[in-house]
Amino acid sequence: MRLVRLSEAERSKVETLYKTSPHSVVPTRCLSLLYSNEKRSIKEVSSLVRLSRRSLERFFNAWESACEKYSTLSIGTGRGAKIKLSAVKNLLPDLLKEHSRNLNPLIDELYQKHNIQVCKLTLQNFLKGLGL
């Protein structure tokens, strides 16, 4: 049976992070540590926090081997979708004026000249984020 032992200081910090963290991943991982510290099996913890047993094993391994244990609670940097349009961000206002805010020719031009293939909704959301 795989268990993670927490010292009293670690347990109190993990409880605080569980209650105050704005991210969705951190409380789940904190809760899994607290359950494991209560001597619950990894199968039981996985069903309680709704993560796979293998994911919990990887997380527990990372927790035990890390120098800075609390950094393992959050998701690592560089994860998630990369923004395709950041390279042409400066060109978009001129292209919008040129095409009278019609996005279909803009999408074609982005694909032909810059080899960037995006859907209309992605382009709309990106432009909205830029304030255009």
Q: What is the pLDDT of residues 22-38, one digit of tens each?
A: 888 999 999 999 999 99
pTM: 0.63
Q: Do 69 and 25 lie in a common domain?
A: yes
Domain total of the chain: 2
Q: How far apart are CA 131 and CA 129, in angstroms?
A: 5
Q: How far apart are CA 36 and CA 45, in angstroms?
A: 7
* Structural contact between residues 85 and 120, judged by C-beta atoms closer than 8 angstroms: no
Whether residue 78 is contained in a domain is answered as: no
Whether residue 96 is contained in a domain is answered as: yes
Sign of CA dihedral 23, 27, 30, 32: negative
Q: Do 47 and 19 lie in a common domain?
A: yes
Q: What is the pLDDT of residues 71-128, one digit of tens each?
A: 888 887 777 666 778 888 888 888 888 887 788 888 898 889 888 888 888 888 888 8
Q: Do 57 and 95 lie in a common domain?
A: no
- What's the domain range around 100? 84-130
Q: Do 69 and 90 lie in a common domain?
A: no
Q: Do 28 and 62 lie in a common domain?
A: yes
Q: How far apart are CA 32 and CA 43, in angstroms?
A: 11
Token digits for 9?
């200081």
Locate tokens 């268990």: which residue? 3
